[in-house]
Amino acid sequence: NPQDSALIKTFRRFEEGSEYETVTLKWCTPRGCSASEMQNCTAMHRITPVDVNSRPSSCLINFLLNGRSVMLEMARKSGGKTISHLLAAHGGEIFIHTLSTARSVLEDPPSISEGCGGRVTDYRIT
């Protein structure tokens, strides 16, 4: 469903031309979490809508400018999903926040099948 996805584009400039990469992010329903489960923000960039006159853009902008926020999730290679970005307004401008998706050192150790790239790892806890 195209209305359930947001397309974030990162532009790279080169001398002879330009290219860009895209990442598909899906809106997700925020779930309640405690302060210990909050993710660190690793980057924040001001963004603007591509089509300011479209109804979905207008609704999203009004939602954000009224003090609400939108969580965005991306698919993991292992098949699960993780909340990776947050849209929020600060001072009348809209920003996308990149959230840390790495494990906290305070979490339980990963299972034996959660190695890099979803590979089974061989490690021992002493």
Sequence-distant (6+) residues with CB within 8 A of 77 are: 117, 118
Q: Is the pLDDT confidence value at 99 over 80?
A: yes
Confidence (pLDDT) at 94: 93
Q: Is the pLDDT confidence value at 63 over 80?
A: yes
The residue count for the chain: 126
Sequence spans of domains, the chain: 24-32+39-102
Mean pLDDT check: name the lowest of 32-41, 83-92, 106-115: 106-115
pTM of the model: 0.62
Sequence-distant (6+) residues with CB within 8 A of 71 are: 27, 28, 29, 30, 83, 85, 86
Confidence (pLDDT) at 25: 76
Q: Are 83 and 96 in contact (CB under 8 A)?
A: no
Q: Are 7 and 85 in contact (CB under 8 A)?
A: no
